[in-house]
Amino acid sequence: MTKIYERLRYERKGEQGEQLWLTLDNEPMRNAMDDLMQRELIEVLKEACYDNSIRCIVIGGAGQKSFCSGGDIKLFETLTMVSGYDFAYERGNTLQQLISYMEKPVIAAVGGMCFAGGLELALVCDFIYATANATFGLLEINLGLLAGWGGTVRLPRAIPVRRAKEMLYRGEIISATEAHRLGLVNRVFETREQMDEALEKTVAEMMAKPPLALRATKNVVNNSLTCDSIEAALSIERGATMWLLASDDSKEGVAAFVEKRKPEFKGK
């Protein structure tokens, strides 16, 4: 299944179209998220969030040189203090909420530049694969701004705090190798082809898992990270465990293990 957008490439993969591969497509602007791309991305993610036929999302960038260079700087010229706040809330907050709380894995496939809003988009994904030519940075300070789509909050949670501060204060750009060393990136590949091959393997492995358990795992991890109390987090975990125990998939998984056969999960 393919849908046509002006700033996104939309492709469904897998035997039942359960994988959604999105490509940010604005190469003349290094895949910058202009107004149209932002609106299209929110529209697609809102639809995907509640579409149970979609079980995994991969977000990449068109071409070899850029995942996403950030936002369209010209948009900032039109914003006031109030409209700028509303814009950040409507666009940045909405994108973060959709990706964080949709109960399906979202993977960032980063090749080339991953700056500003592009890095903030990648940070909110569940994990990041990158090519060796990828570079990462939150550069908003150079414009007299800060990374206001979650960058100043999520980067210090993704890498050591002092290293995050240095990147933010300096507007520093780091390599894929450094990003991997810091734990910002899961895996680094020499070529885009190698990364895509690894992505397809990883996605296929996840799609073979029981759908409800995969959904619940993301839900518990993300919600537990917001808890001040570990006991509250453990309570969330126990509740999800009890919910899964009542599922047909759980019964099938246990039966298949006992009977030494391959399970057939149906997401029920």
In this prediction, residue 1 carries a pLDDT of: 62
**Residues with active-site annotation:** 120, 140
In this prediction, residue 83 carries a pLDDT of: 72
CB–CB of 72/30 below 8 Å?
no
Sheet of 187-189, strand order? 2-4, 8-13, 19-24, 56-61, 106-110, 127-131, 187-189
pLDDT digits (tens, 9 = 90+) for 122-181: 999 999 999 999 999 999 999 898 898 899 999 999 999 999 999 999 999 999 999 999
pTM > 0.85:
yes
Instruction: Please name the amino acid found at residue 213.
Output: A
CATH numbers and ranges of domains, the chain: 2-207 (3.90.226.10), 211-258 (1.10.12)
**Dihedral Cα 204, 237, 49, 33, nearest 10 deg:** -90
Instruction: Give CA–CA dist 56/62, Å, rounded.
Output: 19
- Low-confidence residues in the chain, pLDDT < 70: 1-2
Instruction: Give CA–CA dist 178/81, Å, rounded.
Output: 36
Instruction: Give CA–CA dist 191/209, Å, rounded.
Output: 28
In this prediction, residue 74 carries a pLDDT of: 77
In this prediction, residue 133 carries a pLDDT of: 97
In this prediction, residue 59 carries a pLDDT of: 98
Least Cα distance to 124 among 104, 99, 101 occurs for 99
CA angle, corner 94, sides to 90 and 100, nearest 5? 160
